[in-house]
Amino acid sequence: MKTIPVLRDKKRYIVFEVISEQTVTRYDLAGEIFNSVFSLLGDAGASEINFGLLSYDGRYGILRCKREKTSDTRAALACVNTVRGQRISILVLGMSGTIKGATEKFIQQSIIKESEPE
């Protein structure tokens, strides 16, 4: 049975870029984000955020969270600084209400800016 739209959680999609010396796998990054959220907010806070790593291609990723908990999710992303002993930095590019908007607005724009000659 479906939930009526009024009772559904409103979601936001956070687009981020991972800057690292070596490529980071999706599995390793998801584990570190998971650990960061749980250590920063605890079990109750992590369950309220309802986060999930939707896509990650080795550089850009999309993370889902509740609309009211975007600042907590961004704080948890900022706390991730190592994955399997290698240093990384997570740069939040922006937020959107839909996955399509997130990819068009932030990921494709970043790729276009990189390919343009200066």
Residue 39 has pLDDT above 70, yes or no: yes
Give the mean model confidence (pLDDT) for residues 56-60.
90
- Architecture of the CATH domain 9-115: 2-Layer Sandwich (3.30)
Give the mean model confidence (pLDDT) for residues 31-54.
92
CA–CA separation, 100 vs 7, rounded Å? 23
Residue indicated by tokens 């990723």: 61
Residue 18 has pLDDT above 90, yes or no: yes
- Each domain of the chain, given as residue ranges in start order, spans 9-115
Residue 118 has pLDDT above 70, yes or no: no
Lowest mean pLDDT among 5-9, 31-35, 83-87: 5-9
pLDDT digits (tens, 9 = 90+) for 86-102: 999 999 999 999 999 98
**Residue 116, exposed/middle/buried by CB under 10 A (0-12, 13-18, 19+)?**
exposed
pTM: 0.86
CA–CA separation, 24 vs 58, rounded Å? 6
Q: What is the 3-state secondary structure (H, E, C) of 32-62?
A: HHHHHHHHHHHHHHHHHHCCEEEEECCCEEE
Q: What pLDDT is recorded for position 72?
A: 93
